[in-house]
Amino acid sequence: MNDDGGGEGYVDTQLRLVGYGVIVSGIVAILAAALSTQPRGIVVFGLGGLAVAALVFERTQGGVAGISLGLLVGSVLAWLWPTVGDGGYRFFGLLLVVVGFIYTAILPRFYRFGQRLGER
């Protein structure tokens, strides 16, 4: 797929891939919380590294940038989590998985709805 930003299918794919990246971020956070007593560093730097690797892969393969953005969002939120939330990283991971599923299921439909409203 070409990264020219054209077409409705391109945006739908990109929005879904960002949601998938957020879901993967949540799964990584849950696994890190299960394996470590201090999962913040593992989650922040692990997701940051995965985001950079996914971005390089997406750019070199000519794919749609999306999963890397979701992983980067997860990394930044994991870095901010102790300041914003008082729950553990297991709850944080579950929250990311739920938000990622909602994002993947609902946001492309809202995008198409807004596009139809704009055409009128």
Residue 5 lies in a domain: no
Residue 72 lies in a domain: yes
Residue 45 lies in a domain: yes
What tokens does 30 get?
């849950």
How many Å apart are CA 99 and CA 67, to the nearest integer? Answer: 15
Residue 95 lies in a domain: yes
Per-residue pLDDT at 35 exceeds 90: yes
Question: What is the reported pTM?
Answer: 0.83
Please tell me the predicted confidence (pLDDT) of residue 31: 94
User: How many domains in the chain?
Assistant: 1
Residue 119 lies in a domain: no
Residue 32 lies in a domain: yes
Owning domain of residue 41 = 17-108
How many Å apart are CA 67 and CA 53, to the nearest integer? Answer: 10
Q: What average pLDDT does the chain have? A: 86
Each residue's pLDDT tens digit, 40-89: 899 999 999 999 999 999 899 887 888 999 999 999 999 998 887 677 88
Residue 115 lies in a domain: no
CA distances from 73 to 4, 20, 40, 79, 115 (A): 23, 12, 15, 10, 25
Residue 90 lies in a domain: yes
